[in-house]
Amino acid sequence: MGKGARVNMNIRKNDIVVVIAGADKGKKGRVIEAIPSEGRVTVEKVNIVKRHQRPTQTQRQGGIIEREGKIEGSNVMIFCSKCNKAVRIGRKILEDGKKVRICKKCGEMLDLG
């Protein structure tokens, strides 16, 4: 991805997703952060990276810190709780003009609220 390239991402913060490619394939987790400008997402307990941290004034304890790394947005799919699997999503406009995301398999609305 080039710098500033805009990607059409259907994944948002707090979505439950399944990793479909890479070392963590098959893992399920909640999206902590979605970065559409980069086309990447950070998923809870997926792509754990180790960072060697030097002690600072704010963080007295140094050492090796484990945290989630970013993964490509195309390597995850949204999890539908009704279908109980990773699905593609579509968009639908309701009668009141509100846009919602729906599961392509069962038609279940994925946007809550």
Domain ranges of the chain: 16-84
pLDDT for residue 40: 95
pLDDT for residue 8: 76
Q: How many helices (H) and strands (E) does the chain have?
A: 0, 10
Quote the CA–CA distance of 25 and 35 in Å, as a whole number: 20
Quote the CA–CA distance of 19 and 44 in Å, as a whole number: 11
- The overall average pLDDT reported for the chain is 91
CB 64 within 8 A of CB 50: yes
Residue 7: pLDDT over 80: no
In sequence order, the 6+-apart residues with CB closer than 8 A to the CB of 44 are 29, 30, 31, 32, 68
| pLDDT range class, residue 3, cuts 50, 70, 90 | low
- The pair of structure tokens assigned to 56 is 């600072």
Question: Largest Cα–Cα distance of the chain, in whole Å?
Answer: 56
Q: Return the CATH fold of 16-84.
A: SH3 type barrels. (2.30.30)
Residue 113: pLDDT over 60: no
Identify the sign of the CA torsion 3, 21, 79, 33: negative
pLDDT for residue 66: 94
